[in-house]
Amino acid sequence: MHTERVTIEGTAFLTTLHLAGPIGLLALHGGVEGGTAELATEVAARTGATLLTFTQPEGPPTHIPSTRIGPCTPLTTFLTHTTLTISLHGHNRRSMPRTIYVGGSHRPAARILATALSVLPFTPITTLSAIPHPLRGLHPDNPVNQTRYGGVQLELPVQARTTHPVPTHPEVPPREVVEGIVAGVRTLMEREEARW
C-alpha cells in the first residue's frame, strides 16, 4: 500500500494505491462522496483487485469532475497496471434514493455488476438513456474509460454508500452492497482471465 500527496487544480489529495489484480477499484471522490473510498477499499481487499482512492485530508471538500482528475503519478500507474476499472461515485438524486446508475464504456461488464447488485434493496439501471447524462461516465477523459477494456462507473445513492445518516469517519458501507460488488468483481475477474 503506497500513499502519496498530489495537488490537482489547487486542491490537495491523499492518494492510496495498492497494485494487485488486473481489475481496478477506483474512488476519485473519497470523502466528498462519502463511503466510496471505504467501499472500494473493502471490495479490493476481498477480491484481490487493484485499488486507488483519492481523499482530501484537509480543507473544505472540493468536487473536481472526474474528467479533470489527472494526470498524476498514482493514477497513471493505476491505469497502466489495470485492464478494466470499476469507478465508485455517489449521487444525491433525492427522487431516486434507491437507484444505482451503472454507466461507463464497458457495457457487458456493467450488466454483470448490475446483475450482482440486483438482489439488493436497490435498483441498478444500465440503460444509458435512463441514466442522467452527467452520471453516465462515458467521456473519454474520464479515468474509468482509460484502461485497456474501459470500465464501469457505479453511481451510488447515499444509502448504498454508508450505514450512517450523518457523515462519519470512516464511513461504513452497507454489507449487502459490499457483497454484491464483490460478487460482480469476482465474475469480472473470471471473464478477464478468459480475455473476454
CATH of the domain at 161: 3.40.630.100
| CA distance readout (Å), 195 to 23, 89, 102 | 12, 27, 22
User: Helix %, strand %, coil % for the chain, to 5?
Assistant: 35, 25, 40
194: amino acid identity, one letter: A
- Tens digit of pLDDT for each residue in 163-191? 876 666 788 999 999 999 999 999 999 98
Place of cell 487544480: 9
Q: What is the mean pLDDT of residues 70-80?
A: 95
Domain count across the chain: 1
Please give the average per-residue pLDDT across 149-171, as a whole number: 87
Residue 191 has a pLDDT of: 82
How confident is the prediction for the chain on average, in pLDDT? 93
Q: What is the pLDDT of residue 171?
A: 86
User: Structural domain of residue 92, as residue ranges?
Assistant: 2-193
